[in-house]
């Protein structure tokens, strides 16, 4: 069996204690551990202390802040809780669907939404054992200095593989980050950048406390599409999330605002340029085609995860068009 | 035949229909509850006082010379108790005695990424891992060969023990006049097929523990499916007499052929235990399981099949290039099987196969469920489907027309006994509503059929000898209990339950009153192990013999006490009963006590040896010969997404002739498991190395090596066909491997019905299927081909 490295652990019970605990050098936050622990077994990180979110009660809640017009999801809420929450499902079906498509039931029981939005980037050349990586001399993200995906590439293109991130970006969500400097809010669309080695703007000593999703003031529809080889367990090989604000709640409504976000390209989720969709009717057959076309044109998968990039690019078109058609029901 | 088993049995009235007491009933496997409750102790659950943990250091290079290994500095590390390298194991071994071409650890060079080079024993796993990481090895990297054709052409010899360069084995056999028959065929189908490598994916990784007992006996507990062959090879490599070694197989968490031969860890823990005087354990990581491999060989197959105008097969010409990986493993047998097991259930007018197995710098391939014959079965069944299409004959009808029959000889001279293939075809045809639906479902939906045969054990042992193939000892005592001692390996397939069912049937005992002691070389008679689907037939026959001897003995004493003829005494439901006067009865405990008082300890042995008249009289004619053959037919229904190439298998109907089904629930389990396993190979599994990255495995984990989940698995309808065979216990044949074969071609043929494309290369992954659909569309657009199912196209999303 692969062994975990030796580390200490702390279980603070309040946000204040948590901030202090992760300020210690070598400390790292752990929630469900479903991403972190396999990476530790693969010797991708070597924290001296793992700080658990588990006993911080205020991070485990889903609250509807009507005053602020926000759904506030505590970072410690599990993906199972999120996927099975009836109110969330009613109001944010794409989010509910994405959370329910992560990995497998057992993993969703442990994994949290805070962990999912901070999921480390993944690459076929990185997420392997230390021995395996030694056979190819490592890479930019591990022990080496080359990229095996983009020959001569100087920056890491490991893939953002979270199911929930593209959905949350399409919904205009923001994060509440807490750290030694206090609380700050950051739009999820701005939280990620293109360096696969450190792909978020999470500051040192900071952690994600809350994920806030604006409650739509106008009629809206949203969808999520994912392709994997298996119907369970797998990380997405392509993912597309879309959100449309509409002039009324009907299949033939006119789109007043559109956001489409793609995952699993490189380190950064890609918010597409979709102005061309505004003013179109949702159920106009050309709308579905255009959605597919926009995804195909702007999404350029790389060979950083299994299955050929060219095929995955074609599938962006198919899955995006289908996701839109699913909204017409 | 089936009914006849009763007349052999003491106490039963000849000719009278006797209700079976256990045979054919639903049984819970004897270890099922413990397994489900997590109470079974697998090899890794063994913990001995003072036990050391062993880690094997592996080569990061696909082909590299070992210049030096600095064992001394690692041995000096605190907590490290022993280090062994290839130099400690100079004697090469191999499960096939003719091809000993591997050492427990690489001696001069490593032959694939993951090849074992050194092993370290330390006080705990972390210390062993740290030492493994610190071990300095100087390498000289050599050019590696991954492509079998390229390797065959190369002058660089990969395996140092090879006597024929990189050619591991070549077999060419011809029966009848193939070229003439092809020339006179009305229709010749020519096709190239590729079957990708796949691995077993048993949930329990390999694990071994060794301990030197105070009396000097070396005990090795191992997650093996062939204790006896392990025992032999340990003796050879460690240079110890066999009587100083004890091999025990604890309960296993799956094997599927992946634990059919000795592996480096067993030799390493044994040597380290001898060296340190302490118990030593080694548990593979999942990644190491992928490197130890011995899974399905990738095969490139070129087939020509000639048919007459009625669809009769006049000629089959098969040319096969087999990618063997770095070592021989069972490769000699694999090479024969790739041709020898194809000659039923259809009669061939003539047949030639030319198979070459090649050494490459990859983890060695070996036996996986349906050893050597799943790949050629894929090719031939696709060929038949293409022939049927070309001749305008229904694919099931074409198969019927070529049925070889029962009590006949195949063209390669194997004696076939019972044969329920026609009933298998009928059952899947009716259940799938083939006649109403084949070729008539909408574009994207399709049905496909395929058939197959498999052996119920190999007629000859791996090492030639005149001893029985199987032996069992059964003893009874006054507590009303039976003990069955068998060397056979229960690997989860239920073989120990099968022995219990037989003893229960013969002696009238409840299943719970039978203790099976298996696979412990100090306690049990020698058995060859769990491979080639041999146990039910071979060990089952031995068990019937032992148990029926005891039955006669007990019945005689009861009859004598009651002063009635022996044929009036029946042993059933835990009692001895006078069948003409049922109120005269006694418990079996009393009956056994009676017999024990007269005769002393009640114990009997049973032996089984194979009939010597089943094989062909030519060199290699014994390989693939079996006492009895199972037969299978599948129909698969698929839904092909024409925009994505994703193939969804909706349902699989599997009809399998296993002879008499001794325990139908267990047979169904084997049928379903086989379908599941083959389905994964057809659609997603790929055990491959990256040629551009030094030969690393593309994903040695259960995340990256994609095996189907529950959600992916189709509905499976298992249809048991019982064509009892004279050779089997109560007429039983095999059920563990045969039912896998047809699923892969059945899916390929169903894809053709659905969308008009031939998938001749596994896996039928979405990119490949989509590419084939797009190619066909281009041909349809250019007028080269008519639109497939033009009349049945509907608006599809």
- For B676-735, the DSSP string reads HHHHHHHHT----EEGGGTTEES--STTTS----TTTPPEEEEEEE----TTSGGGB---
Q: What is the pLDDT of residue B794?
A: 66
Candidates B206, B686, B688, B690, partner chain A, best to mutate (most A CBs within 10 A) = B690
- C-alpha B86, offset from chain centre: 30
**DSSP-derived secondary structure letter, B388:** H
Domain finish residue from B239, B271, B292: B292
Whether the full predicted model's pTM is greater than 0.95, yes or no, is yes
When CB atoms are compared, the residue of B113, B283, B766 closest to A1 is: B283
What's the gap in Å between the CA of B520 and the closest CA on chain A?
26
Residue B35 shares a structural domain with residue B48: no
Q: Largest alpha-carbon pair distance within chain A? A: 58
Rounded Cα distance between A238 and A251, Å, is: 26
What's the gap in Å between the CA of A321 and the closest CA on chain B?
10
Question: Helix B495-507 to helix B540-562 angle, to the nearest 10 degrees?
Answer: 20
Q: What is the pLDDT of residue A1?
A: 83
Is residue A157 within 8 A of residue A303, CB to CB? The reply is no
What's the gap in Å between the CA of B682 and the closest CA on chain A?
13
B697 touches chain A (CB under 8 A): yes
In 3D space, the residue among A230, A233, A225 whose CA is nearest the CA of residue A108 turns out to be: A233
Rounded Cα distance between B469 and B458, Å, is: 10
Residue with tokens 């069948």: B579
pLDDT band at B611 (very low <50, low <70, confident <90, very high): very high
- Mean pLDDT for B377-399 is 98
Query: Residue B14 sits in which domain range?
Result: 2-40+463-608
Q: Is B664 helix (H, G, I), strand (E, B) or coil?
A: helix
Is residue B254 within 8 A of residue B202, CB to CB? The reply is yes
Could A232 and B60 be called an inter-chain contact, meaning their C-beta atoms sit closer than 8 Å?
no
Query: For residue range A85-118, what is the model confidence (pLDDT) as tens digits?
Result: 999 999 999 999 999 999 999 999 999 999 999 9
Q: Name the E strands within B386-458.
A: 408-409, 415-416, 445-455
Residue B374 shares a structural domain with residue B449: yes
Rounded Cα distance between A78 and A107, Å, is: 10
Cis amide linkage into residue B345, ω under 30° from 0:
yes
The CA-based dihedral angle spanning residues B770, B774, B780, B784, taken in that order and rounded to the nearest 10 degrees: -110
**Residues of A whose CB is below 8 A from B361:** none
In 3D space, the residue among B631, B608, B332 whose CA is nearest the CA of residue B459 turns out to be: B608
List every span in chain A annotated with CATH 3.30.465.10. Answer: 57-119+159-214
What is the enclosing helix (H) or strand (E) of B630? strand B629-640
* Pair of tokens at residue B297: 């060989």
* Pair of tokens at residue B244: 């100083």
Residue B746 shares a structural domain with residue B766: yes
**Residues of B whose CB is below 8 A from A132:** 287, 696-697, 700
Query: For residue range B205-261, what is the model confidence (pLDDT) as tens digits?
Result: 999 999 999 999 999 999 999 999 999 999 999 999 999 999 999 999 999 999 999
Q: Per the domain annotation, does B584 fall within a domain?
A: yes
Give the percent of chain B with pLDDT over 70: 97
Query: For residue range A239-298, what is the model confidence (pLDDT) as tens digits?
Result: 999 999 999 999 999 999 999 999 999 999 999 999 999 999 999 999 999 999 999 999
**Residues of A whose CB is below 8 A from B113:** 135
Query: For residue range B113-156, what is the model confidence (pLDDT) as tens digits?
Result: 999 999 999 999 999 999 999 999 999 999 999 999 999 999 99
**Residues of A whose CB is below 8 A from B126:** 3, 6
CB-side neighbour CA atoms (13 Å) of A8: 9
b (16+ CB within 10 A) / e for B619-647: ebbbbbbbbbbbbbbbbbbbbbbbbbbbb
Is residue A206 within 8 A of residue A145, CB to CB? The reply is no
- Average pLDDT of the residues of chain A: 97
Residue B384 shares a structural domain with residue B481: no
Is residue B735 within 8 A of residue B667, CB to CB? The reply is yes
Q: Per the domain annotation, does B184 fall within a domain?
A: no
In 3D space, the residue among A301, A171, A169, A288 whose CA is nearest the CA of residue A236 turns out to be: A301
**DSSP-derived secondary structure letter, B456:** S
Rounded Cα distance between B550 and B545, Å, is: 9
**Residues of B whose CB is below 8 A from A136:** 693-694, 696
When CB atoms are compared, the residue of A2, A233, A307 closest to B285 is: A2
Rounded Cα distance between A59 and B249, Å, is: 49
In 3D space, the residue among B673, B97, B604, B148 whose CA is nearest the CA of residue B370 turns out to be: B673
Could A306 and B766 be called an inter-chain contact, meaning their C-beta atoms sit closer than 8 Å?
no
Residue B93 shares a structural domain with residue B217: yes
Q: Per the domain annotation, does B14 fall within a domain?
A: yes
What's the gap in Å between the CA of A327 and the closest CA on chain B?
14
Rounded Cα distance between A32 and B257, Å, is: 36
Q: What is the pLDDT of residue B2?
A: 38
Residue with tokens 């449309």: A244
What's the gap in Å between the CA of A236 and the closest CA on chain B?
12
The β-bridge partners of A104 are: none
Query: For residue range B299-353, what is the model confidence (pLDDT) as tens digits?
Result: 999 999 999 999 999 999 999 999 999 999 999 999 999 999 999 999 999 999 9
B396 touches chain A (CB under 8 A): no
The string of DSSP codes covering B198-263 is B----SSPPEEEEEE-TTS-EEEEE--S-HHHHHHHHHHHHT--GGGEEEE----S--TTTTSS--
The CATH number for B96's domain is: 3.90.1170.50
Is residue B97 within 8 A of residue B464, CB to CB? The reply is no
* pLDDT reading at B1 higher than 60: no
B42 touches chain A (CB under 8 A): no
Rounded Cα distance between B396 and B277, Å, is: 63
Candidates B701, B771, B772, B774, partner chain A, best to mutate (most A CBs within 10 A) = B701
Q: Per the domain annotation, does B165 fall within a domain?
A: no
Could B710 and A232 be called an inter-chain contact, meaning their C-beta atoms sit closer than 8 Å?
yes
- Average pLDDT of the residues of chain B: 96
Q: What is the pLDDT of residue A201?
A: 97
Regarding an ipTM greater than 0.90, the answer is: yes
Residue B472 shares a structural domain with residue B430: no
Residue B313 shares a structural domain with residue B411: yes
CA distances from B330 to B206, B258, B624 (A): 18, 11, 13
CA distances from B33 to B30, B667, B690 (A): 8, 19, 43
Q: Per the domain annotation, does B620 fall within a domain?
A: yes
Q: What is the pLDDT of residue B793?
A: 84
When CB atoms are compared, the residue of A1, A104, A132 closest to B696 is: A132
**Residues of B whose CB is below 8 A from A230:** 684, 706, 708-709, 711-712
Please give the CATH architecture assigned to the domain spanning A57-119+159-214.
2-Layer Sandwich (3.30)
Residue with tokens 């591990």: A142
**Residues of B whose CB is below 8 A from A135:** 60-61, 113, 693-694, 696
Q: Which residue of B has its CA nearest to A5?
A: B126
Candidates A135, A146, A305, partner chain B, best to mutate (most B CBs within 10 A) = A135
**Residues of B whose CB is below 8 A from A128:** 699-701
Is residue B196 within 8 A of residue B298, CB to CB? The reply is yes
B561 touches chain A (CB under 8 A): no
Q: What is the pLDDT of residue B10?
A: 39
pLDDT band at A299 (very low <50, low <70, confident <90, very high): very high
What's the gap in Å between the CA of A315 and the closest CA on chain B?
7
Rounded Cα distance between A96 and B285, Å, is: 35
The CATH number for B535's domain is: 3.30.365.10
Could A229 and B684 be called an inter-chain contact, meaning their C-beta atoms sit closer than 8 Å?
yes
Query: For residue range A146-183, what is the model confidence (pLDDT) as tens digits?
Result: 999 999 999 999 999 999 999 999 999 999 999 999 99
Is residue B472 within 8 A of residue B483, CB to CB? The reply is no
Could A131 and B767 be called an inter-chain contact, meaning their C-beta atoms sit closer than 8 Å?
no
pLDDT band at B4 (very low <50, low <70, confident <90, very high): very low
Residue B756, Ramachandran bin (φ over 0: left; ψ between -120 and 50: alpha; else beta): left
Q: Per the domain annotation, does B221 fall within a domain?
A: yes
CA distances from B773 to B290, B383, B762, B791 (A): 33, 20, 16, 18
| Count of structural domains within chain B | 3
Could A230 and B711 be called an inter-chain contact, meaning their C-beta atoms sit closer than 8 Å?
yes
* pLDDT reading at A83 higher than 70: yes
B475 touches chain A (CB under 8 A): no
B129 touches chain A (CB under 8 A): yes
Q: Per the domain annotation, does B198 fall within a domain?
A: no
Please give the CATH architecture assigned to the domain spanning A220-326.
2-Layer Sandwich (3.30)
Query: For residue range B695-731, what is the model confidence (pLDDT) as tens digits?
Result: 999 999 999 999 999 999 999 999 999 999 999 999 9
Q: Which residue of A has its CA nearest to B287?
A: A129
Residue B431 shares a structural domain with residue B468: no
Q: Per the domain annotation, does B370 fall within a domain?
A: yes
Could A229 and B61 be called an inter-chain contact, meaning their C-beta atoms sit closer than 8 Å?
no
List every span in chain A annotated with CATH 3.30.390.50. Answer: 220-326
Domain finish residue from B567, B582, B608: B608
Could B711 and A325 be called an inter-chain contact, meaning their C-beta atoms sit closer than 8 Å?
no
Residue B243 shares a structural domain with residue B268: yes
Burial class (CB in 10 A: 0-12, 13-18, 19+), B1: exposed
Residue B703 shares a structural domain with residue B788: yes
**Residues of B whose CB is below 8 A from A1:** 125, 205, 283, 285
Residue B779 shares a structural domain with residue B753: yes
B795 touches chain A (CB under 8 A): no
Could A232 and B797 be called an inter-chain contact, meaning their C-beta atoms sit closer than 8 Å?
no
Candidates A131, A138, A236, partner chain B, best to mutate (most B CBs within 10 A) = A131
* pLDDT reading at B472 higher than 60: yes
pLDDT band at A227 (very low <50, low <70, confident <90, very high): very high
* B629-640 and B647-657 strand pairing: antiparallel
Could B767 and A308 be called an inter-chain contact, meaning their C-beta atoms sit closer than 8 Å?
yes
Could B61 and A135 be called an inter-chain contact, meaning their C-beta atoms sit closer than 8 Å?
yes
Query: For residue range B207-221, what is the model confidence (pLDDT) as tens digits?
Result: 999 999 999 999 999
- Mean pLDDT for B454-479 is 95
Q: Is B509 helix (H, G, I), strand (E, B) or coil?
A: coil
When CB atoms are compared, the residue of B129, B283, B644 closest to A318 is: B644
- C-alpha A124, offset from chain centre: 18
Query: For residue range A209-222, what is the model confidence (pLDDT) as tens digits?
Result: 999 999 999 999 99
When CB atoms are compared, the residue of B125, B205, B709 closest to A230 is: B709
**Residues of A whose CB is below 8 A from B711:** 230-232
Is residue B455 within 8 A of residue B532, CB to CB? The reply is yes
The CA-based dihedral angle spanning residues B67, B69, B70, B72, taken in that order and rounded to the nearest 10 degrees: -130
What's the gap in Å between the CA of B127 and the closest CA on chain A?
11
In 3D space, the residue among B673, B751, B753 whose CA is nearest the CA of residue B716 turns out to be: B673
CA distances from B463 to B228, B233, B240, B244, B371 (A): 11, 12, 19, 21, 18
B644 touches chain A (CB under 8 A): yes
CA distances from A285 to A276, A279, A282 (A): 15, 14, 8
Could A234 and B700 be called an inter-chain contact, meaning their C-beta atoms sit closer than 8 Å?
no
Domain finish residue from B237, B270, B292: B292
Rounded Cα distance between A277 and A275, Å, is: 5
In 3D space, the residue among A76, A77, A81 whose CA is nearest the CA of residue A96 turns out to be: A81
Rounded Cα distance between B113 and A27, Å, is: 35
Q: What is the pLDDT of residue A207?
A: 97
pLDDT band at B18 (very low <50, low <70, confident <90, very high): low
Residue B620 shares a structural domain with residue B747: yes
Residue with tokens 């050349």: A125
Question: Helix B331-340 to helix B374-391 angle, to the nearest 10 degrees?
Answer: 20
What string of H, E and C letters represents the secondary structure of chain A?
CCCCCCCEEECCCCHHHHHHHHHCCCEEEECCCCCHHHHHHCCCCCCCEEEECCCCHHHCCEEEECCCCEEEEECCCEHHHHHHCHHHHHHCHHHHHHHHHCCCHHHHHHCEHHHHHCCCCECCCCCCCHHHHHHCCCCCCCCCCCCCCCCCCCCCCCECCCCHHHHHHHCCCEEEEEECCEEEEEEHHHHECCCCCCCECCCCCCEEEEEEEECCCCCEEEEEEEECCCCCCCCCCEEEEEEEEECCCCCCCEEEEEEEEEECCCCCCEECCCHHHCCCECCCHHHHHHHHHHHHHHCCCCCCCCCCHHHHHHHHHHHHHHHHHHCCC
* Angle of CA points B641, B644, B648, to nearest 5°: 40
């Amino acid at each position: 069996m692969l062994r975990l490295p030796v580390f200490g652990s702390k279980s603070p019970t309040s946000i204040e204690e948590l901030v202090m605990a992760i300020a210690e050098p070598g400390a790292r936050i752990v929630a469900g551990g479903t991403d972190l622990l396999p990476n530790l077994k693969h010797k991708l990180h070597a924290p001296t202390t793992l700080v658990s979110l588990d006993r911080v009660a205020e991070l485990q809640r889903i609250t509807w802040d009507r005053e602020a017009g926000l759904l506030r999801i505590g970072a410690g809420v599990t993906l199972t809780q999120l996927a099975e929450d009836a109110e969330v499902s009613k109001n944010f079906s794409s989010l509910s669907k994405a959370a329910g498509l992560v990995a497998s039931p057992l993993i969703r029981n442990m994994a949290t939404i805070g962990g999912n939005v901070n999921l480390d980037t993944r690459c076929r050349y990185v997420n392997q054992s230390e021995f395996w990586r030694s056979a190819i001399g490592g890479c930019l993200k591990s022990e080496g200095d080359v990229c095996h995906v983009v020959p001569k590439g100087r920056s890491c293109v490991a893939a953002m593989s979270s199911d929930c991130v593209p959905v949350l970006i399409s919904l205009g969500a923001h994060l509440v980050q807490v750290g030694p400097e206090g609380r700050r809010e950051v739009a999820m669309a701005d939280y990620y950048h293109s360096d696969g080695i450190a792909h978020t703007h999470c500051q040192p000593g900071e952690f994600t406390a809350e994920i806030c999703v604006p409650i739509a003031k106008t009629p809206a529809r949203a969808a999520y599409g994912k392709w994997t080889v298996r119907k369970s367990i797998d990380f997405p090989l392509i993912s597309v999330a879309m959100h449309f604000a509409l002039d009324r709640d009907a299949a033939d409504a006119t789109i007043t605002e559109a956001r489409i976000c793609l995952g699993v390209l490189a380190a950064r989720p890609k918010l597409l340029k979709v102005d061309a969709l505004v003013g179109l009717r949702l159920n106009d057959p050309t709308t579905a085609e255009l959605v597919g076309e926009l995804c195909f044109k702007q999404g350029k998968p790389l060979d950083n995860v299994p299955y050929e990039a060219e095929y995955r690019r074609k599938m962006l078109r198919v899955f995006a068009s289908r996701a839109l058609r699913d909204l017409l029901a | 035949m089936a009914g006849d088993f009763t007349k052999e049995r003491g106490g039963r009235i000849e000719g009278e229909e006797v209700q079976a007491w256990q045979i054919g009933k639903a049984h819970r496997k004897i270890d099922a509850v413990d397994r489900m409750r997590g109470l079974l102790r697998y090899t890794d659950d063994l913990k001995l006082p003072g036990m050391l943990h062993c880690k094997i250091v592996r080569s990061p290079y696909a082909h590299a010379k070992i210049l030096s290994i600095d064992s001394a500095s690692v041995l000096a590390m605190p907590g490290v108790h022993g280090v062994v390298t290839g130099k400690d194991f100079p004697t090469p071994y191999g499960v096939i005695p003719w091809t000993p071409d591997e050492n427990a650890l690489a001696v001069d060079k490593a032959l694939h990424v993951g090849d074992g080079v050194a092993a370290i024993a330390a006080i705990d796993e972390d210390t062993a891992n740290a030492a493994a990481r610190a071990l300095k090895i100087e390498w000289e990297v050599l050019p590696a060969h991954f492509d079998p054709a390229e390797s065959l052409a190369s002058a660089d010899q990969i395996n140092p023990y090879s006597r024929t360069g990189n050619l591991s084995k070549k077999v060419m056999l011809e029966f009848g006049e193939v070229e003439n028959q092809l020339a006179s065929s009305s229709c010749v189908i020519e096709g190239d097929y590729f079957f990708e490598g796949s691995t077993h994916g048993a949930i329990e990784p390999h694990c071994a523990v060794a301990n030197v007992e105070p009396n000097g006996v070396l005990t090795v507990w191992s997650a093996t499916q062939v204790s006896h062959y392990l025992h032999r090879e340990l003796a050879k490599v460690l240079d110890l007499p066999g009587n100083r070694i004890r091999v025990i197989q604890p309960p296993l968490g799956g094997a599927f052929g992946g634990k059919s031969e000795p592996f480096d860890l067993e030799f390493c823990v044994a040597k380290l235990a001898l060296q340190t005087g302490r118990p030593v354990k080694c548990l593979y990581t999942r990644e190491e399981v992928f490197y130890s491999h011995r899974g399905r060989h990738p095969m490139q197959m070129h087939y020509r099949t000639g048919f007459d105008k009625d669809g009769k097969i006049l000629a089959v010409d098969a040319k096969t290039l087999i990618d063997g990986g770095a070592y021989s493993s069972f490769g000699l047998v694999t090479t024969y099987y790739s041709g020898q097991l194809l000659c039923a259930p259809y009669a061939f007018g003539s047949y030639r196969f030319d198979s070459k197995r090649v050494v490459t710098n990859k983890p060695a391939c070996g036996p996986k469920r349906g050893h050597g014959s799943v790949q050629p079965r894929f090719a031939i069944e696709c060929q038949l489907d293409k022939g049927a299409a070309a001749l305008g004959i229904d694919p099931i009808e074409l198969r019927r027309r070529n049925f070889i029959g029962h009590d006949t000889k195949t063209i390669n001279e194997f004696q076939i006994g019972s044969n329920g293939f026609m009933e298998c075809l009928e059952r899947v045809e009716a259940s799938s509503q083939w006649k109403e639906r084949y070729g008539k479902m909408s574009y994207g939906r399709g049905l496909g059929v395929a058939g197959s045969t498999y052996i119920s054990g190999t007629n000859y042992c791996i090492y030639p000898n005149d001893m029985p193939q199987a032996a069992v000892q059964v003893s009874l005592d006054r507590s009303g209990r039976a003990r069955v001692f068998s060397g056979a390996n229960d690997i989860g397939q239920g073989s120990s339950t099968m022995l219990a069912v037989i003893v229960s049937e013969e002696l009238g005992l409840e299943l719970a009153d039978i203790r099976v002691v298996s696979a412990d070389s100090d306690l049990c008679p020698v058995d060859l192990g769990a491979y080639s689907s041999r146990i039910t037939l071979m060990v089952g026959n031995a068990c019937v013999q032992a148990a029926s001897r005891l039955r006669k003995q007990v019945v005689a004493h009861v009859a004598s006490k009651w002063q009635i003829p022996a044929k009036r005494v029946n042993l059933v439901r835990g009692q001895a009963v006078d069948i003409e006067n049922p109120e005269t009865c006694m418990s079996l405990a009393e009956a056994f006590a009676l017999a024990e008082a007269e005769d002393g300890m009640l114990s009997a042995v049973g032996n089984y040896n194979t009939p010597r008249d089943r094989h062909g009289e030519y060199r290699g004619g014994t390989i693939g010969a079996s006492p009895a053959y199972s037969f299978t037919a599948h129909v698969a229904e698929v839904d092909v997404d024409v925009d994505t190439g994703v193939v969804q298998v909706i349902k699989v109907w599997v009809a399998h002739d296993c002879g008499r089904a001794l325990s139908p629930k267990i047979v169904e389990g084997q049928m379903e498991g086989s379908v599941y396993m083959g389905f994964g190979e057809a659609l997603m599994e790929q055990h491959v190395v990256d040629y551009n990255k030094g030969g690393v495995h593309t994903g040695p984990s259960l995340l990256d090596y994609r095996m189907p989940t529950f959600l992916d698995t189709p509905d499976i309808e298992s249809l048991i066909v019982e064509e009892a065979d004279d050779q089997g216990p109560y007429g039983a044949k095999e059920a563990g491997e045969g039912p896998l074969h047809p699923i892969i071609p059945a899916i390929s043929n169903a894809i053709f019905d659905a969308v008009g494309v031939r998938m001749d290369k596994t896996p039928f992954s979405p990119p490949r299927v989509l590419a084939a659909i797009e190619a066909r569309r281009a041909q349809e657009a250019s007028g080269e081909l008519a639109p497939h199912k033009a009349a049945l196209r509907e608006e599809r999303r």
